[in-house]
Structure 1
């Protein structure tokens, strides 16, 4: 296993992107206005960095957070040369965009999603060396192992270029080299949001057996139900709850970026073990995309994982713990699972763990 850690960057020196942004004199523009743009605006406000505009080529709004929404041509005409901070996950475009007229520098924030803003330190990696090695050993193929190495090096240096050699643009939950999506799937979509994953699923397979959409956020549930009604989807059940390792109520905070369970939440949320919520139901795929409670959710689905061994698709790159704790939990529940990882975008937070 020595070869694995030979590949890990040992230097404590960070490319502190936010400190560099604070020193820049040119106007700063956010590229994009989706959910990740919200996360970027939040961290910039926290560090007292004020962008002057939001770059969106085709927008139906003219302002966001007090900033004008403009095309890049309009921005360059008004401000001259500008710096760009990515407000979306297409980091692989950064080098090419830097060559565009009027753009001085491009910045890609590595630690941005779910307020996971702190740096990964080499001391942490050394402290958890054996656990990372265990994950490395469990990974099924060489590219997965390269993805893990790239993840750690990217987080240690704040340089997304480590990911580019292992990123494959065609990879997604339902388009991967590890398993086929059949017409008899029963999909459990945990963190169903407004149906975005379901839409991706239906692009691959129009026919399915059942979809169980689990989403605790009230506004998202409303949009999800409206989508189901508008498209007349059949055989789909919506559960406005959370998943956990016991049936109880937890504090819940609803936020545009980082809704989740935890102390200090303004409301109470009913949470259930998936084993109980879907008792005697067929489950063939489980998708999980949130930060807090992934291992508790898996623990609450231990019966399903043991008896039915559904395919698992989990976003595991939000923080430094995901690639330690999530594989350990899966293997502890059912050691027969194979584990692999791939990037759905060229940023650490878009690292999908596949178990099959």
Structure 2
């Protein structure tokens, strides 16, 4: 059996280091092909196909990032190599390479099973059937790794939110990346908002965000701050990758200023979107009184760490202000899981 890990990047190498089986890497990057990474050959797809013609083969697609679809990549590969047995990385990560976990929201299925009663408590807090179906589907995906289990909806399909936002709402986009979610907000509200504050510490991302919103003719109502939202004020190391993966890292040499959620009180009704690479719980916990007092609308990423959804829902539940909770997954591969928390009265 010829075993291939398609993708000799962070995820592929992580799985490879936990795999007690012989394998080769398969990668599309010319500079990697023909080299040795972590003691394993790196082949192109065509090279793998030549060897696969002599042996039974199995190719695990070890790529997982926003916008990437396992199903599309499998179809693309099999269009050229019809006999390839292409499988998702989750089959290995939840089995032979379980020591590679946790990775994002994936964790050892045995650990997740012990938490199902806590997820049932969260399920009871969700306000509509689609939220409950989204949670059920996400847990099945996390347990079995079957991408067909994912239940995703478009980012703009959040009527429970758009029908509630006041026309004078101010939007704080924490972890704004290149302004894509800010543009979604503008379109969802039909431009009925007071102002937007983009919080994005990565200079390359912030520049692209500025260009995007300039094309929409909105810069007169937009402020861009190259800072990071965290659980405390100060400076912290930051990995500026110029991508969605840019994140705080205490060991990084490059430092960025960190601020609290309460430092972005723009006056009037507020809507915060938080997508800050696993720092969401700390940022919320540090400003519980501010959130409760100002009755802030919240859209919170809950997929960067295994317990994100449990921790974030618990923080919201314990606030002095009552909130309605909705859950949506906006990524076709299970990423971009968002918990929306709407104050019952403002």
TM-score for the superposition, normalised by structure 2: 0.72
Q: CA RMSD in A?
A: 3.7
Q: CA deviation at 1:118?
A: 8.7
C-alpha distance 222-119 of structure 1, shift in aligned 2 (>3 A)? closer
Alignment match, 1:210: 195
Tell me whether 1:102 sits opposite 2:110 in the alignment.
no
- Match in the other structure for 1:125: 112
Residue 219 (1) aligns with residue 204 (2): yes
Q: 1:284 to 1:91 in 2, by over 3 A?
A: farther
Maintained 8 Å contact 1:188/1:283? no
Alignment partner of 1:249 is 2:217:
no
CA distance in 1, matches of 2:78, 2:205: 39
Q: Which residue of 1 aligns with 2:160?
A: 178
The structure-2 alpha-carbon separation of the partners of 1:187 and 1:280, relative to structure 1 and needing over 3 Å to count, comes to closer
TM, length-normalised to structure 1:
0.71
Partner of 2:296: 310
Task: Please show how residues 1-356 of structure 1 align to structure 2 within 5 Å.
Answer: 24=2, 41-46=9-14, 47=16, 49-53=24-28, 66=32, 85=61, 88-91=67-70, 93=72, 100=79, 102-103=81-82, 104-110=84-90, 116=103, 120-163=107-150, 166-168=151-153, 171-172=154-155, 174-180=156-162, 183-207=167-191, 208-229=193-214, 231-233=216-218, 234-255=220-241, 256=243, 258-275=245-262, 277-279=263-265, 281-356=267-342
- Alpha-carbon contact 2:292-2:320 (below 8 Å) kept: yes
1:140 partner SS: coil
* Deviations 1:262-289 (CA, angstroms, capped at 9, x unpaired): 43121332211121x2235234321111
Report if aligned partners of 1:285, 1:311 keep a CA contact under 8 Å in 2.
yes
| Paired residues of 1:210 and 1:235 also in contact (CA < 8 A) | yes
Write the distance in 2 (CA, Å) between the matches of 1:283 and 1:303. Answer: 16
Task: Identify if the C-alpha distance between structure 1 residues 349 and 252 changes in structure 2 by more than 3 Å, giving closer, same or farther.
Answer: same
Provide, for residues 63-122 of structure 1, a one-character-per-residue CA deviation record: whole Å limited to 9, x for no partner: 6x556xxxxxxx7899688958366433455786687463423333457xx982695234
Corresponding residue SS for 2:25: coil
